[in-house]
Amino acid sequence: MGLSVRLADLDGMTTQERDQLLGQLVNEATGPANGQLALVASRVRAFEQRYEMSSEQLLDHLRRGEQTETAEIAEWLFWLQVQRRCARK
């Protein structure tokens, strides 16, 4: 599940986006041998920061019909599910 980047993708990014992505690559490469759970947790945290709510709040909003499930929300739910499955092991 490692992060991958095509060089062509870097051309279309701002300096800040490039630095953030390359920083993620370095962190993943220098992290523990099985640092996948940390990567998943960081992706979940990124969504929580972007939407300014916890994953629990998101789930509550979805249950009550107060949040629309967009493609981005579906991705957040995917990473949350991966995180919870890995935590159970």
pLDDT digits (tens, 9 = 90+) for 63-84: 999 999 999 999 999 999 988 8
Asked if residue 5 has pLDDT above 60, the reply is: yes
Q: What is the pLDDT of residues 22-58, one digit of tens each?
A: 787 776 665 554 567 888 899 999 999 999 999 999 9
Asked if residue 1 has pLDDT above 50, the reply is: no
| Residue 89 CB coordination number (10 Å) | 5
The domain spans of the chain are: 1-31, 34-89
* Torsion angle in degrees (nearest 10) through CA of 10, 11, 15, 21: -10
User: Using CA of residue 13, residue 19, residue 24, residue 26, what is the dihedral sign?
Assistant: positive
Give the model's confidence band at 15: pLDDT under 50 very low, under 70 low, under 90 confident, else very high.
confident
